[in-house]
């Protein structure tokens, strides 16, 4: 039975005052529901970052770059908050086209989708991207392919692409400079993948070598942690790689708006992952049910406040 | 057709640095999805608060007091960010029991619901409340009833209850001191309502007088705005009262996790309310799809930063 | 540890053939996720209906009548699948205006909400209702009030209104004919409530007598069950009435699209209700996460197939 | 302005009687919200199937095979309701292990996830799968690899695997017999992918050839349609392949529980796809927000009733 002594009261957050993000996030610990989930997730991230032996994965799905999280993600890579990135193809595609000078646009008023198509812009919920961006990217991809061997891997292809991007806010460039590998199991399923499929050079991407690299990296790790934004193939790829090692993650935080009751992976609980050996049975885990465009900046800004003395600020 | 010039780029939020909440919330304006929705909602709230002629309603549904928002809500009342509160019975019930010294508790580990029931504690998702609290409240209610006339209203009952609460973090007490009426159309549907139903004094609550008061208040208003947390009966009560006036709200912000596609009111869009005359056709409106325990503190903390010079800090 | 023998395989539903609804719903028992939840919920409803001593409540929230479930709900009342109805004010308001000849309309193409307002039609997601309907209803309400005493109850008011409706598809009329009380704790919070608030006769509704009636009914029941569509105040009203009796429901099925993680009542699990004594610890319970416009017809059609021999078909 | 004449009334569905699934689904057309969405989606599917020139894609994401839809999906392939399947790796993995005699199990009571792991069973929400199944599958995969050339494609690999499965309820076997290609852009991201990554034979899967095949197939199509269950990489793969052709789908139905407001692809509206040229601007489209384990069997059973005279029943 629980004891009341030692049980902290679910006190309200104080009256709002000009305050830092972390003072707000930390006050969430005395609340309930998703505010508390977010606070506890931030604590787990902090512990994971302070664990010097921990290999930390950032798993990215959803339109995070169009959503505006690009430079924040790049910053977490430069600070080595994360050691490995696993991502959908869309996020690296949109990262690269931003580096080529094509930005996601916010219209004052949304035209119809038929009008948008006609005008050469395409929509991602409430932002637009000019389709010319993809033609510019295709030119780059051609040059990258020329420099590559007949059979390559998704991570090697992305490294070569990154070398051509001079952009300190780019995820790809930050990863290259920080020696952080980017795994992209679904590269084929993205605009980059379409470009690679229709190239004439007949170069091939070996999808399996990257998998082996990730498994080896996890095998060698002493402890390991993961922050999952959105779920999808990157979550599955990281979790199944861990399953092979028979070790399980020590820390796992998932930010999702999906739910468990429909059985899909993106909403699957971190507890369920314990039954697969993907997460350790006594791991520190938390799920936060919130749009990542809100939750991720809050967690990272709070984290940076807590870690600022130990951060290599020059890195960012 | 839209023009690219004038269209702000969906820039990423900068690298995280020790920052205030408002600097984060304001940076969300250059993002997309619910981060931008939250930023735009905050702008509407700011404009609404700066509008000196505006009558502002706070509509409360969901377990906001158990969720930990009690003193924050009380603070917004003391600062007169809101002039009128419409709430479910549960939120005033739980506000009163906190004032009586019974707090919502956070267990280290959740016992089974059967074990909780046996031990005299009940659960609201991840917080507990001792059921003894309701007995203490019932005693208070008896005393309040003694002091009231045979027929009263929900708002008068709550005012009488508030007079007995000495607690600066109480919503009821803050409303009393700030002369902010609290309308509770579903008082009967709450623990307070159960207590009132089973009292022997045979006193009656006239549910309709409060409705008339709210309609009159809106009738006289020059402009009006509403912040809706969660939807439910309070949203409907405020909106239908406005419908009677044939005026429509000038500002409306809704924080909800429900969705429009299932047809219910809590998820109904603010645009739909235009078809009823509840919201003006050119009103400033925004929906934020996020747990209120996260979104409300963010919006209010940002708002306070922006308004700090004009705030009467002594009030809070 | 579980044993594989005795554990039914999660077999797939067979190849689709011209089949009855119940053959489909029953096949869902061998599936997973919400299909299985729906099948198990139907089994619980069947058991509850076959329990001759069981007092059965139907709890209605959400735009169920505009959604098209009106005559189906009326049918379940005529068949005495349910003995008591607890509902929001909106559902009885829209039930009554259908009886007055004003139907919910499906436009081929949705005009803007501003255009709708101007044309005298209002929108509920994808159906429209002419606002003239409410004026016709107001006339009826005036006549009902003339026939009532100074202080009445919501259920008595609805009974008087039902007497004026000659419509075999009406929920109110079906309840009157079948001697099924309709409790409406939020009558004040509906278009009917607005009409009652602005009447000149100064008649009052005692909100508490209905509560006492429901509590007494539950007190006397041998066993009891509830089907909750949508949650909201009706769920709370029925659950808190049961809490007073210290008995707890024996059967409970909830159809909702809300979720537990945000702490609100509509998404709260039926297990949580055990910690309050609202549901018995060994009760048969199931939550179905699905739009009620899909799940309710499926469950009721399957139920009718199973019960057809024992149904009094003339009643419907 | 809309005209009332010609506008069907949102009539209620009739009293439930022993009825076929299609009579229920067809009655949903007179309802609102997701019931109507499901009815309209079924009409679009019917039109798509009756269109003799239409190339029809079934896009599968989520735990549909563990969810119990396996034989139903296989049946739609045998009936050539669909000409092409695009799927996640998980669905073909779980299809194959069912063929090897390992079934998804439904425990009477769910043990803890730690206990499950220990006992060699893993959990997918509310079904279990023995992990021995994956070892049996690995043996099969080894044999398949022996028979393949050094560089193969995902679809060729799946065809070879299908040849070893003697199981009329298998998706893979049905596709092989019906000459329906199965594209699996995320094969690498599945248990099959793990097995392929860790094999010693050093065989490679060319991810791009399948993409080219799908694009060519769509290029040659006169009209085209897609039923999307769940979104994810398969939706993106099919949509981006269509984008390359500059044609756009003529029919598109999406069953999802995700939502548009968070910006991700699985919840992205079909209208948004028009802005990319993935869907024709005057295409027939419908989104159904419902668990696929409920919506898909309803739609297919209704469809079969409507098409029964023209169906080649021997095929199934």
Q: For C93-142, how does the pLDDT look when each residue is reduced to its tens digit (9 = 90+)?
A: 999 999 999 999 988 899 999 999 999 999 999 999 999 999 999 999 99
Exposed, middle or buried: residue A126 (CB in 10 Å: 0-12, 13-18, 19+)?
buried
Could you give the 3-state DSSP secondary structure of residue D158?
Answer: helix
Work out the number of other CB atoms within 10 angstroms of the CB of residue A8: 12
The CA distance from D233 to A89, in Å, is: 10
The answer to whether D34 contacts B289, with C-beta atoms less than 8 Å apart, is no
**More confidently predicted of D3 and B140:** B140
**Contact call for residues C94 and C122 (beta carbons, < 8 A):** no
Give the mutation candidate from D65, D207, D231 for the A interface (greatest A CB count, under 10 A).
D207
Q: DSSP character for B256?
A: E
Q: DSSP character for B174?
A: H
**More confidently predicted of C168 and A230:** A230
Query: Is it the case that residue D316 has pLDDT exceeding 50?
Result: no
**Parallel/antiparallel/unpaired status of strands C127-130 and C121-124:** antiparallel
Q: For D131-157, how does the pLDDT look when each residue is reduced to its tens digit (9 = 90+)?
A: 999 999 999 999 999 988 888 999 999
The CA distance from C171 to C143, in Å, is: 20
List the alpha helices (DSSP H) in chain C: 21-27, 33-50, 70-78, 89-99, 113-118, 132-146, 154-163, 171-178, 191-198, 207-220, 232-245, 270-274, 292-307
Q: For C217-235, how does the pLDDT look when each residue is reduced to its tens digit (9 = 90+)?
A: 999 999 999 999 999 999 9
Query: Is it the case that residue A117 has pLDDT exceeding 50?
Result: yes
What's the pLDDT band for C14 if we cut at 50, 70, 90?
very low
List the alpha helices (DSSP H) in C228-291: 232-245, 270-274
* Three-state secondary structure readout of A67-85: CCCHHHHHHHHHCCCCCEE
**Contact call for residues B203 and B151 (beta carbons, < 8 A):** yes
C-alpha distance from residue B86 to each of B180, B232, B238, C206, C275 (Å): 10, 11, 7, 20, 28
C-alpha distance from residue C168 to each of B212, C184, D9, D14, D15 (Å): 35, 21, 17, 12, 11
For chain A, the residue count is 316
Whether A259 contacts chain C with CB within 8 A: yes
Complex-level ipTM beyond the 0.90 threshold:
yes
Choose among A18, A32, A111: nearest Cβ to B1: A111
Whether B297 contacts chain A with CB within 8 A: yes
Structure pTM?
Answer: 0.95
Q: DSSP character for C110?
A: P
The answer to whether B15 contacts A316, with C-beta atoms less than 8 Å apart, is yes
Tell me what the pLDDT averaged over chain A comes to.
90
The CA-based angle C106-C111-C115, given to 5 degrees, is 120
**Contact call for residues B93 and B263 (beta carbons, < 8 A):** no
Q: Active-site positions of B?
A: 278
What's the pLDDT band for D198 if we cut at 50, 70, 90?
confident
Query: Is it the case that residue D192 has pLDDT exceeding 70?
Result: yes
Average of pLDDT values for D197-201?
79
The CA distance from D157 to D168, in Å, is: 19
Residues of chain B with Cβ-Cβ distance to D261 below 8 Å are 33-34, 37, 289
Q: Active-site positions of A?
A: 278
Q: For A190-219, how does the pLDDT look when each residue is reduced to its tens digit (9 = 90+)?
A: 999 999 988 777 788 887 899 999 999 999
Buried b (16+ CB within 10 A) or exposed e, A244-266: bbebbbbbbbbbbbbbbbbbbbb
Query: Is it the case that residue D86 has pLDDT exceeding 50?
Result: yes
The answer to whether A33 contacts C261, with C-beta atoms less than 8 Å apart, is yes
The CA distance from D8 to A290, in Å, is: 40
The CA-based angle B77-B80-B83, given to 5 degrees, is 85
The CA distance from A250 to A267, in Å, is: 20
Tokens 């005052």 identify what position?
A17
Choose among D207, D244, D264: nearest Cβ to A230: D264
Residues of chain A with Cβ-Cβ distance to C261 below 8 Å are 33-34, 37, 289
DSSP structure string for A159-178 = HHHHHT---TT-HHHHHHHH
Neighbours of chain A (3+ CB pairs under 8 A): B, C, D
Average of pLDDT values for D242-263?
97
What's the pLDDT band for C313 if we cut at 50, 70, 90?
very low
Q: What is the pLDDT of residue A14?
A: 47
Residues in Cβ contact with D299 at an 8 Å cutoff, skipping those fewer than 6 apart: D25, D38, D41, D42, D45
The CA distance from A111 to D316, in Å, is: 47
Q: What is the pLDDT of residue D284?
A: 98
Query: Is it the case that residue D3 has pLDDT exceeding 50?
Result: no
What's the pLDDT band for A42 if we cut at 50, 70, 90?
very high
Q: What is the pLDDT of residue A17?
A: 53
**More confidently predicted of D262 and C20:** D262
**Contact call for residues A86 and A185 (beta carbons, < 8 A):** yes
Which residue of chain C has the CA closest to A34?
A: C262
Could you give the 3-state DSSP secondary structure of residue C52?
Answer: coil
**Parallel/antiparallel/unpaired status of strands A84-87 and D249-256:** unpaired
Residues of chain A with Cβ-Cβ distance to B30 below 8 Å are 68, 106
C-alpha distance from residue D311 to each of C17, C190, D49, D306, D316 (Å): 11, 51, 11, 10, 9
The CA-based angle A304-B46-A69, given to 5 degrees, is 35
First to last CA, chain B: 49
Q: For D74-83, how does the pLDDT look when each residue is reduced to its tens digit (9 = 90+)?
A: 999 998 999 9
- C278: annotated active-site residue: yes
First to last CA, chain D: 49
The CA distance from A104 to B31, in Å, is: 9
Q: What is the pLDDT of residue B313?
A: 35
Average of pLDDT values for D33-49?
97
Whether B148 contacts chain C with CB within 8 A: no
**Contact call for residues B188 and C183 (beta carbons, < 8 A):** no
The answer to whether A275 contacts D116, with C-beta atoms less than 8 Å apart, is yes
Q: For C166-219, how does the pLDDT look when each residue is reduced to its tens digit (9 = 90+)?
A: 888 899 999 999 999 999 999 999 999 999 988 877 788 887 899 999 999 999
Buried b (16+ CB within 10 A) or exposed e, B170-199: bbbbbbbebebbbbbbbbbbbbbbbbbbee
Question: Which of residues 192 through 251 in chain D touch C, CB cutoff 8 A?
Answer: none
Reading phi first (left if > 0) and then psi (alpha if -120 to 50, else beta), residue B23 is in alpha
Q: For C242-277, how does the pLDDT look when each residue is reduced to its tens digit (9 = 90+)?
A: 999 999 999 999 999 999 999 999 999 999 999 999
**Contact call for residues B289 and B36 (beta carbons, < 8 A):** no
Nearest alpha-carbon partner for D37 in D285, D301, D297: D285
What's the pLDDT band for C155 if we cut at 50, 70, 90?
very high
Lookup: tokens for C58: 């139907």
**Contact call for residues D227 and D18 (beta carbons, < 8 A):** no
Residues of chain A with Cβ-Cβ distance to C32 below 8 Å are 263
Q: pLDDT tens, position by position, for chain B (316 residues)?
A: 333 333 455 555 544 455 889 989 999 998 999 999 999 999 999 999 999 999 999 999 999 999 999 999 999 999 899 999 999 999 999 999 999 999 999 888 999 999 999 999 999 999 999 999 999 999 999 999 998 888 899 999 999 999 999 888 899 999 999 999 999 999 999 999 999 988 877 788 887 899 999 999 999 999 999 999 999 999 999 999 999 999 999 999 999 999 999 999 999 999 999 999 999 999 999 999 999 999 999 999 999 889 875 444 333 3
The answer to whether D233 contacts A230, with C-beta atoms less than 8 Å apart, is no
Whether A21 contacts chain B with CB within 8 A: yes
Q: What is the pLDDT of residue D1?
A: 33
Whether B259 contacts chain D with CB within 8 A: yes
Rg (chain D; Cα; Å): 20
The answer to whether C262 contacts A33, with C-beta atoms less than 8 Å apart, is yes
What's the pLDDT band for D309 if we cut at 50, 70, 90?
low
Please, what sign has the CA dihedral across residues B6, B10, B11, B14? positive
Least confident among B50-54, B64-68, C16-20, C280-284:
C16-20
Q: What is the pLDDT of residue B202?
A: 78
Phi then psi for residue A2, to 5 deg, are -75, 150
Which residue of chain C has the CA closest to B209?
A: C197
Query: Is it the case that residue C12 has pLDDT exceeding 80?
Result: no
Residues of chain A with Cβ-Cβ distance to B19 below 8 Å are 20-21, 301
User: What percentage of residues in chain C have a pLDDT greater than 90?
Assistant: 78
Q: What is the pLDDT of residue A226?
A: 98
Strands (E) in D51-108, as ranges, are: 54-60, 84-87
Could you give the 3-state DSSP secondary structure of residue B264?
Answer: coil
Q: For A146-159, how does the pLDDT look when each residue is reduced to its tens digit (9 = 90+)?
A: 989 888 999 999 99
Query: Is it the case that residue D13 has pLDDT exceeding 90?
Result: no
């Amino acid at each position: 039975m629980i004891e009341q002594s030692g049980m902290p009261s679910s006190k309200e957050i104080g009256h709002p005052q000009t305050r830092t993000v972390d003072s707000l996030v930390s006050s969430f610990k005395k609340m309930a529901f998703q505010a508390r989930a977010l606070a506890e997730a931030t604590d787990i991230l902090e512990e994971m970052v302070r664990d010097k032996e921990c290999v930390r994965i950032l798993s990215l799905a959803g339109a995070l770059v169009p959503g505006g999280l690009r430079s924040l993600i790049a910053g977490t890579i430069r600070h080595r908050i994360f050691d490995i990135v696993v991502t959908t193809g869309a996020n690296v595609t949109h990262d690269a086209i931003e580096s080529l000078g094509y930005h996601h646009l916010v219209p004052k008023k949304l035209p119809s989708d038929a009008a948008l198509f006609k005008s050469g812009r395409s929509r991602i919920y409430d932002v637009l991207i000019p389709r010319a961006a993809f033609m510019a990217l295709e030119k780059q991809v051609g040059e990258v392919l020329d420099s590559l061997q007949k059979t390559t891997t998704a991570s090697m292809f992305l490294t070569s692409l990154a070398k051509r991007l001079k952009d300190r806010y780019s995820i790809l460039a930050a990863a290259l400079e920080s020696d952080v590998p980017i795994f992209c199991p679904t590269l084929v399923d993205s605009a980059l993948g379409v470009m690679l499929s229709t190239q004439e050079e007949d170069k091939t991407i070996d999808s399996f070598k990257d998998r082996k690299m990730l498994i080896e990296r996890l095998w060698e790790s002493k402890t390991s942690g993961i922050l999952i934004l959105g779920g999808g193939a990157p979550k599955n790829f990281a979790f199944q790689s861990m399953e092979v090692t028979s070790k399980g993650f020590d820390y796992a935080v998932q930010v999702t708006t999906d739910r468990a009751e429909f059985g899909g992976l993106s909403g699957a609980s971190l507890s369920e992952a314990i039954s697969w050996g993907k997460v350790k049975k006594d791991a520190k885990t938390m799920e936060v049910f919130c749009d990542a465009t809100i939750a991720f900046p809050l967690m990272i800004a709070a984290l940076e406040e807590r870690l600022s003395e130990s951060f290599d600020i020059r890195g960012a």
